[in-house]
Structure 1
Amino acid sequence: MYAVAVHLNDLFLVYVAVLGLSAWALVFHHGPLRRADLTFPAGRVRRTAAAVSIGVGVLFGGLWLGELVPALLAGEVPASIVEAGLWVNPIHVVDLSMVLPAFVLTGVAAWRGRAWGLLWLGPWLVFSALMGTSIVAAMLLMAAGGQTGTLPATVLVSVVTLFSLATSVAYLAGSDEPLPGSPHTSESSSSLRFASTSPR
């Protein structure tokens, strides 16, 4: 979003580089990861992580729609868009079309033990924690600058960030990539082995 939705600044090329490197890393490594012999946590760790992923998608989807739907029904532009001087908010577009559905679909798939959901659950939770941290930092800077009314949103995002961080650490700590030829000895993850024969 920083590469396309903020005014040109000294870090513009850094934003573009991060976006490009992330995209190409995904292109080149997604296939090998799907074919790798990976294991993932089962039981409470997996269900909790999946529930947090679903919750993030539903919560922020509800927040954005709660702002957009009343304004559209009234034939008005949401105040946040007017204040930002935008035609539309690109965060609304990207979140509602791709990011938030991905959180929900990944959580549901991981809850059901589907291979692609198990693979993507950790990255999406890490993304949630990192994005939440940046939002909280921005809100604290806004409050320090004298802007009022940021406390409720800061508390909400902080709670989401902490849940995302805790569940991502627990989930990724329970995931492992065994050495070639070695048996799977982890009882908690052996039932959710990720391989090319897993359902997708």
Structure 2
Amino acid sequence: MTSFAGQTQEPVETPRNPVRLSRLWLRLSLTAALLAGAGSVAGLAAPGVIYDQETVALADSSTAQDIVNLFLVAPLMAGLAVWASRGSLRAYLCWFGFVAFTVYNYVIYTFSIHFGPLFLIWVAVLGLSLFALIGGLTTLDTASVKARFGARSAPLQAWFLIAVAALFALLWLSEIVPDLLVGDPSTSASDMNVPTNPVHVLDLAFFLPAALVSGVLVLRRHPLGYATVAGQLSWVALICLPILVTPLVANSRGHQPGWTVMVPVGFLFVLTLTVLVLLLRRQGPPGHGA
């Protein structure tokens, strides 16, 4: 290109447009967050009605989940969706973790809590968040995400996810295998009076393998790895919170609190947030690395 002074200038590369969450997935996410918040309010206001048929262990953990949903997950899922729709890549990538956690949580609500007044709300939240998760992931420009990270490796985050997936799998199998060998019912499922522990099913069948795959893809510098690693880390952090709140709920109700989980789960929560922040700080502006 020639300037007014007659000098030839190199064309300036136009930065890529920011990666945005589409309006459809934004609306699904906002609706899911609104319904989840309303359901959590009802669960906290009338636990004797909503969870009256559950065991003490399941009722306390469900109330803890309602607290986390109402005060953290639902509002932040909505906020991240709005920011992602305005072009924040960090919000978009973390939003995956919040929506995945909502899917995870409401599978447990719909399949393990007795049929009751909130059933249709829980089903709606599950469906909305699941379609938002699938849609948001399949329409994401993963190549642009990789470019925003400059195609740099993230071995810390990758190996952290692989280690967390392996450790949780070993932890769950350490209960499942002995129960199977002696022919006893699942120990943790018996505490909740459900046929099988839904956490074991969801983790071993879906979420831990997904975390493992994300870690491996990041090590291979695959675009899908860069697109999912922040969401996986957000999900790991979120699953810690109801575990940390449950002993507080149990203690407030005069039940036996499981204080022993506080230190290891609290450590995992802080460590996961640290690893996530270090990852997000590496993301460049639009056009970075292109």
1:133 alignment partner in structure 2 = 241
Number of the residue aligned with 1:2: 109
Whether the aligned pair in 1 keeps the contact of 2:142 and 2:227 (CA below 8 Å) is no
| Native 8 Å contact 2:143 2:223 kept in 1 | no
For residue 149 of structure 2, what is the amino acid of its counterpart? F
Q: TM-score, normalised by structure 1?
A: 0.78
Q: Give the match for residue 32 of structure 1.
A: 139
Bigger helix fraction:
2
Quote the offset at 1:55 in angstroms. Answer: 2.0
Residues 122 and 171, structure 1, Cα contact 8 Å, conserved in 2 = yes
User: Which whole-Å CA distance do the structure 2 matches of 1:78 and 1:34 have between them?
Assistant: 42
Contact 2:157 2:279 in 1 (8 A): yes
In percent, how many aligned pairs have the same letter? 32
- Aligned-partner Cα distance in 1 for 2:262–2:120: 29
**RMSD of equivalent CA atoms:** 2.3
Question: Greater shift after overlay, 131-140 or 96-105?
Answer: 131-140
Q: Which runs of 5+ in 2 are unaligned?
A: 1-107
CA distance in 1, matches of 2:257, 2:272: 24
Q: TM-score, normalised by structure 2?
A: 0.56
Which residues of structure 1 form unaligned runs of 5+? Answer: 185-189, 194-200
**Hey, what's the Cα distance between the residues in 2 that align with 1:63 and 1:164?**
18
Q: Deviations over 1:28-49 (max 9, x none)?
A: 3223313552222735xx2222
Tell me whether 1:57 sits opposite 2:165 in the alignment.
yes
What SS does structure 2 have at the residue aligned with 1:88?
coil
Report 1:26-105 matches (<5 A): 26-35=133-142, 37-38=144-145, 39-40=148-149, 42-43=152-153, 46-105=154-213
Larger relative contact order, structure 1 or 2 (CA cutoff 8 Å, min sep 6): 1
Work out the CA distance in 2 between the residues paired with 1:151 and 1:52: 25
Q: 1:55 to 1:140 in 2, by over 3 A?
A: farther
Q: Distance in 1 between matches of 2:281 and 2:121?
A: 30
> What number of residue pairs does the alignment pair up?
180
8 A Cα contact 1:37 1:177, kept in partner? no
